[in-house]
Amino acid sequence: MIPGEPDGPAIAALGCIALSLLILPGPAARRRCLRVFRTQPARRIRRHRCLHWIVGLGCAVTLGLGSGALVTAVFVGATVTVRVRRSRRSGRHRAECGYLLDGLAAVIAELHVGAHPSAAAAVAARETSGIAAQVFAVGAARSRLGGSGADGLLSPATVIATELARVADAWRVAEQHGLALAELLSAARADLAARARFRSRTEAALAGARATAAILAVLPVLGIGLGQLMGADPLRVLLFSGIGTYLLPLGTGLACAGLLWADEITRRVVSR
């Protein structure tokens, strides 16, 4: 050991101290305030706790294995986070499109029996859920007050903003030119349903390509494990040598970039 440098137990002690400080719970008064007044959503509180754990583990990894392992962990964590968010967004989009189709079916049915567009939109808002229920309620209120019901259907910050814009365009054309709203909404609903079926078929067809990309990204890890079993000791080279500090993050970054690029290619195909 070089004089003046901390030994292994000292580094481990520093890592434990940093981890304990980062995951230390907040003051009791603040926790009671959050429970009583609900100043933050529960999801945000859980997210902050997870962030504390991640930062603490990152500090422990840095002190124990070096900066290369930390950069590798950051790459892997970022890739997993991006993929999980994309998967959740796709699931929300699929669910919200189903709610929108149900709401349009209710509006069309009410219009066919002679209901006013505002009343039809109000019925759709009660019979559906999610974003569709909100926009139909706003559209019904606008139409009831003498405004344009199409403007109430626009919601640019949502996952179905494109679909809502198509429905709003059909509604606006009917208002401006005096056309039958039920017929235009039926055409818009048929178009949305066809797009949803195409998206589902395309996602099913590309499931094999996505699985192949994931397997190719994991193959280097299997190679490292095989080398370790053969006695080549690749972990020592990657984690505790000077060149491994650069090779491990470089390989991990390339594998993560390839996986994300494959996801982007399939996403563009599906979104056409």
Q: Are residues 229 and 243 in the same domain?
A: yes
Examine residue 51 and state whether it is found in any structural domain, yes or no: no
CB count in 10 Å sphere of residue 153? 26
- Residue that has been written with the tokens 């101290």 in this structure: 17
Q: Are residues 198 and 109 in the same domain?
A: yes
What does the alpha-carbon distance between residue 188 and residue 166 come to, in Å, rounded to a whole number?
Answer: 7
pLDDT tens sequence across 41-91: 445 555 555 655 665 665 665 556 667 777 888 888 888 888 888 889 989
Q: Are residues 150 and 236 in the same domain?
A: no
Residue where a domain terminates, one of 159, 184, 204: 204
Q: Are residues 169 and 107 in the same domain?
A: yes
Q: Are residues 253 and 162 in the same domain?
A: no
Q: Are residues 198 and 210 in the same domain?
A: no
Examine residue 128 and state whether it is found in any structural domain, yes or no: yes
Could you tell me the residue range of the domain that residue 114 belongs to? 93-204
Q: Are residues 100 and 151 in the same domain?
A: yes
Examine residue 174 and state whether it is found in any structural domain, yes or no: yes
Examine residue 5 and state whether it is found in any structural domain, yes or no: no
**Which pLDDT score, from 0 to 100, does residue 207 have?**
86
**Which pLDDT score, from 0 to 100, does residue 5 have?**
41
Helix residue ranges, H only, 67-206: 67-112, 117-127, 130-144, 149-152, 161-177, 181-205
Give CA angle at 247 (234, 67), nearest 5°. Answer: 95
Examine residue 71 and state whether it is found in any structural domain, yes or no: no
* Polymer length in residues for the chain: 272
Residue where a domain terminates, one of 170, 186, 204: 204
What does the alpha-carbon distance between residue 25 and residue 66 come to, in Å, rounded to a whole number?
Answer: 27
Among residues 130, 45, 117, the alpha carbon closest in space to that of 91 is found at 130
Q: Are residues 178 and 105 in the same domain?
A: yes
Number of domains in the chain: 2
Q: What is the pTM of this model?
A: 0.71
Examine residue 238 and state whether it is found in any structural domain, yes or no: yes
**Which pLDDT score, from 0 to 100, does residue 243 have?**
86
Q: Are residues 230 and 261 in the same domain?
A: yes
Q: Are residues 219 and 236 in the same domain?
A: yes
Q: Are residues 128 and 192 in the same domain?
A: yes
Examine residue 121 and state whether it is found in any structural domain, yes or no: yes
pLDDT averaged per 10 residues, the chain (length 272): 44 52 53 48 54 60 67 85 89 92 93 90 91 91 85 87 91 88 92 91 87 88 87 83 85 90 85 68
183 residue type, one letter: E
**Which pLDDT score, from 0 to 100, does residue 135 have?**
92
Residue where a domain terminates, one of 157, 187, 204: 204
Q: Are residues 141 and 176 in the same domain?
A: yes
Examine residue 130 and state whether it is found in any structural domain, yes or no: yes
